[in-house]
Structure 1
Amino acid sequence: MRILAILPLIALSGTAHALTLEQSVAEALNKNPRLLQKYARFEAKYRDKRTAFSEYLPQIRLYAAYGYENVTNNSGNAVDTEMDRRELGLKISQMLFDGFKTSSDVARLDYEMRADQQSLVSEAENIGLEVSQVYLDLIKAQEIVKLQQKNVVDHQNILKDIQSRKSKGLSSDADVAQVQARLTTAQSGLLAAKNNQFDLEANYYDLVGSYPDNLMIPKPDANYLPTDLKQAIDLAVTSHPEVSAANLDINAASKQIERDKSGYWPKLALELDVNDNENIGGFEGPDDDARIMLTMSYDLYNGGRTNAKTEASKWRYQEATAVRDNTLRQVTEGTKLAWNAYTFVGEQKNFYQQNVDFASQAQQGYDKQFDLGRRSLLDVLDSKIELFVARRNYLNAAFDERKASYRLINATGKLVEALRVDTPEAWRLEDDKE
């Protein structure tokens, strides 16, 4: 089942919620102010497009006026009147041709609106990755705390044993002091691990809006993981929303050039003008007229404004092209880095797994040798510490591999889709909803 990003509001007092990664991402997308900012920009651009489209439609203007008029001369004739003047007029105009200004403007704003939509999707991808990273870091932190607690217990047990042996004259004060020093280090490590866990819980709350509980280790969808670097880069440059947004910005800049060139063309309009006036110009009585006219206006010279605006638009087009090229570089570089992390961390995890296996065998062997009197308690403690470090390294590598998987999917622009999180209908364009 797909998870809708707009969820019912949940009380956000200190209550903990058992949320999967998918649900956590959906919650974050529903509340994050960065997304609300992007969405507001997208909606504003949609209204801008509708404003430009209004130029295609008839413009209807009603004019009315009433007041006092005193006339002493009118067209060279002596007139001395004082009357109440009334004006009432209706003007309807229909644009027929404006040098492709309106069509270019509508197309430009449509491209800009679609670019803002892609930026909104890209922000959702980035927030989804942030939630994924902190979600996995939090589970890892919880496991590290458990591992640190076991390490402290092991040190405490060894300390009890060695204190017992000292009382029997089988160990020295130096041995006891050494174990006590190692115990304090282990206890300090436990406190640091708990502090890190609490920090991550705060980060999770900042992103999701609720405190986590009973987190479950997520598994990335293998269908969204590229099989090689070339496939990963191809997916990124064709699917990443930032690349799509940059291409749309180039199209918008091209339409801006066409819009600014409209000044080179004449303007044609059809106008209907009807007036119902009374007591105008010092003459008592009605003064009515009506006319329908085809009008044309053409700027023969406007101080070079059209040339300057067109040249500026061409430079904005070059800017948009450079931004697109830079975006492609960044997306490609990010994909390579994500692929390298995914590949090498996976290999590293295998070595850490072997390290855990060997350290576990060594620790068991030391226990047996201690029972036979061939190893000291400090030797046993050293083997337990080595096993603890091996397990901690493996935990880090295992979770880093999962984080790298989600980072790689994000690099291709498919993380929200891979998590089965539906974006709200309001984020989509009309043709996307069909």
Structure 2
Amino acid sequence: MKTKLLKAVLLSGVALLTPAMVNAMGLNEAVQIALESNPEIGQAIANHDATGFELRQAQGLYAPRVDLDASVGVQLVDNPTRRAQGIDDEGLYPSQVGLSATWDLFDGGFRDSEVARQSSRVDSASYRVLERSEFIALQIVRVYYQVLLQQQIVELTRQNVAFHEGIVNDVASSIDSGQLTEADRFQSIERLAAARARLTEAGVELAAAQIEFKTFVGVMPGAVSAPARAASAIPGSLELAIANSVLNNPRTLSAGADIDAASALVDQAESALFPKLSLEGRVGTGYDISGTDGWNSDARVGLSMRWNIYDGGIRDAQVQEELRRESEAKLSFDQTVREVEQAVRESWLRLASQGELARVYDQQLNSSAELVASYRDQFNIGDRSLLDVLDAQNTRFNVQILRETARYSVMFAEYRVLASGGDLLGFMGARPHQSASAGTRSALDIPSWQESEPRALKPLTLPTNGN
């Protein structure tokens, strides 16, 4: 049994350490898998569904409440009537069953406000599902490009190792012919060892990128290929990108729904200023009830009204409290808009700067490649030292890494601009969970906070040591 378990563990470890054996996976496929299985998105979906059931509870407030009650027991009644009848020492065995119903006819708008609040919370939760989906998708784009970049770096590092192996062979031949010394051999071997160490580091960085990919997607990436560029879907100007993001970013939409929820709480607080009118009814039947022998039945229906006309200013203070909560939600919305705008500007800046860097590195790489070839030719005829050739190759290798890094950074920045406007999933053709669609307020005809008139704020006066 232990042997079988050990084999299973070893096999699972091999599976994790050999991602190349996994089927090839495109970027869009990886995003779709994550949308259906990522735990962070799953948490947001569960929160949405839980909030949806809170809305169901709020809608239930419109229905009457019906209760069934029953009781059975023994009772001893000693009163003048029973004493006069000489039965004061006889026990009663009351048993009864009753049905009561209460239906709120008017509550000052409390139920309407509760439905509006929960509808807003459901839509806010939907936008959070969408926000998580867009965020996870963007992270997958990042790590997917990271895997591509690290694969390219591994290949460039292999080429660098091959170059230094060639140099070691050339130096050995030159030593045999008396053109170079043992010091040159040691120098070439030292550079070869450094190149091999860099290859090992590149392999580790590639494995780390693949592991991070698995964290988001749930499976190793396997073979990857360059995805479609997103440049064609980017807005034509920074101003358009900012405007689109403010209107469509899930974070700003969620913050707007939170304002609606806070506004509904103000309406709820104001509803407590009004009377509450209810229709109440009850039917019941029983035996030996109310201290009377035999069967008894009763039925009644009527209206009841309850209105608190004085509470020391508590309800007025609650209204002002919720008005401040509403103001807090609006300020949070403003802060979210600023943060979204900042993200757009940073993404736009990186897109422009990395594009310029990629062009500069292209030019530098062309010069570095020509310089290495020229130095090596001159080295072969004794016009250049070995150190000149090695330094030129080191510069070329570093520029190659920088050029590839900038190139992939441009590609990722394009996707990041789309994500800042909430357009990433749409561009990729990915389908988020159905709970990411926010339409509850619209379906229930809940007005937006932007359509309501501002309400008066009373000044706050608190006791101080001087009073």
TM-score by length of 1: 0.92
Mapped to 2, the partners of 1:220 and 1:237 lie a distance apart of 24
Q: CA deviation at 1:297?
A: 1.2
**Among 296, 301, 307, which residue is 1:292 paired with?**
301
Q: Counterpart of 1:351 in structure 2: which amino acid?
A: V
Q: Is the 8 A contact 2:35 2:433 kept in 1?
A: no
Matching residue's letter, 1:269:
S
Quote the residue 1:176 is aligned against. Answer: 185
Q: Provide the rounded CA distance (Å) in 2 between the counterparts of 1:115 and 1:246.
A: 7
Q: Please tell me whether residue 417 in structure 1 is matched to residue 426 in structure 2.
A: yes
Measure how far apart 1:392 and its partner are.
Answer: 1.5
| Structure 2: gaps spanning 5 or more residues | 1-11, 444-467
Query: Over residues 283-337 of structure 1, what are the superposed CA-to-partner deviations in whole Å (9 max), with x where a residue is unaligned?
Result: 1122211122122111123454423332321221122112111111111111111
* 2:206 matches 1:197: yes
TM-superposition CA deviations, 1:65-105 (whole Å, max 9, x none): 11112111279987724111111111122221111000000
Report deviation, 1:178.
1.7
Tell whether the 8 Å contact from 2:122 to 2:440 is kept in structure 1 after alignment: no
Q: Structure 1's 427 and 408: CA in aligned 2 closer, same or farther, altered over 3 A?
A: closer
Q: Deviation of residue 348 (structure 1)? A: 1.1
Q: What residue number does 1:42 align with?
A: 48
Considering fraction of residues, name the structure with more strand. Answer: 1
Q: Which residue of 2 aligns with 1:126?
A: 135
Q: List 4+ stretches of structure 1 deviating above 6 A.
A: 74-79, 430-434
Larger deviation: 315-324 or 103-112? 315-324
CA–CA separation in structure 2 for the residues paired with 1:361 and 1:76: 122
1:64 equivalent to 2:70? Answer yes
Query: Which residue of structure 2 lines up, in the alignment, with residue 216 of structure 1?
Result: 225
Match of 2:317 among 287, 308, 311: 308
Question: Secondary structure of the residue that 2:272 maps to in structure 1?
Answer: helix
Partner of 1:282: 291
Name the amino acid aligned to 1:141. Q
Offset, 1:370: 4.6
3-state SS of 1:122 partner = helix
Distance 1:233 1:76, change over 3 A: farther
Matches of 1:70 and 1:417, distance apart in 2: 77
Distance in 1 between residues matched to 2:215 and 2:228, nearest whole Å: 23
* Aligned AA (1:193): A
Instruction: Tell whether 2:38 aligns with 1:32.
Output: yes
- Indicate yes or no: 2:270 matched with 1:246: no
CA distance in 2, matches of 1:217, 1:165: 43
Specify the code of the residue in structure 1 equivalent to 2:63: L
Contact kept? 1:219, 1:402, Cα under 8 Å: no
- For the residue of structure 1 that corresponds to 2:108, the secondary structure is coil
How far apart, in 1, do the equivalents of 2:255 and 2:29 lie?
A: 30
Percent identity at matched positions? Answer: 29
Q: What's the counterpart of residue 399 of structure 1?
A: 408
More displaced 10-residue stretch of structure 1: 325-334 or 356-365: 356-365
Matched, 1:325 2:334: yes
Query: Contact (CA 8 Å) 2:127, 2:437: kept in 1 or not?
Result: no
The corresponding residue for 2:100 is: 91
- Root mean square deviation, CA, Å: 2.3
Aligned to 2:280: 271
Of 103, 106, 122 in structure 1, the residue corresponding to residue 115 of structure 2 is 106
For the pair 1:348 / 2:354, whether they are aligned, the reply is no
What amino acid is the match of 2:340? V
Moved more, 354-363 or 133-142: 354-363
Q: Which residue of 2 aligns with 1:366?
A: 375
CA–CA distance in structure 1, aligned partners of residues 91 and 280 of structure 2: 33
* TM-score (normalizing by structure 2): 0.85
Give secondary structure in 2 for the equivalent of 1:215.
Answer: coil
Instruction: Kindly indicate whether the alpha-carbon contact (under 8 Å) linking 1:87 and 1:278 is maintained by their aligned counterparts in 2.
Output: yes
Cα distance change on mapping 1:358 and 1:109 into 2, 3 Å: same
Paired with 1:331 and 1:95, the residues of 2 have a C-alpha distance of 44
Q: Distance in 2 between matches of 1:300 and 1:68?
A: 43
Residues 374-420 of structure 1 show CA distances to partners (whole Å, capped at 9, x for unaligned) of 44554444433332222222111101111111111111121122211
Where do 5+ consecutive residues of structure 1 fail to align?
1-10
